[in-house]
Amino acid sequence: MKKYLSRKFLLTLIGDIMGIVTILVGQNTVTTIVGAAAVIVVNVVYCIIEGCIDAKSVGQITDAAAEIAESLGAGDNVMKAIEQSGKLADKLVGDGGDSTVEGE
């Protein structure tokens, strides 16, 4: 329920409702196209934002996992796997830097 009350979700929902009303009430083709575009753009932007937030969370989790694994004396293979996971998360977010992953 908490996710449905987030500002991002509510703004997306309002944008969708406005776009649908514009489509239904529109008097001409241009108005209908603008309404449809509004619905599509609002949802695409919402998906992009949520994806970036999720990818950043994965990056933070892999950093924490690497610290824990190192403190527990994990082997090189485990550390390499965690490092590659972090690089993939950075690549998804587009943080720049060296985003190449071995084996690509």
Written as six digits, the tokens of 31 are 């108005």
Residues sharing a CB contact under 8 Å with residue 86, sequence separation 6 or more, in sequence order: 59, 62, 63, 66
pLDDT for the residue numbered 67: 82
φ/ψ (deg, to 5) at 94:
80, 40
Helix locations, 1-104, DSSP H: 7-25, 29-71, 76-93
pTM of the entire structure?
Answer: 0.51
24-73 residue pLDDT tens: 887 888 888 888 888 888 888 888 888 777 777 777 777 788 888 888 88
Give residue for tokens 């950075």: 90
Measured CA to CA, the distance from residue 66 to residue 7 in angstroms comes to 33
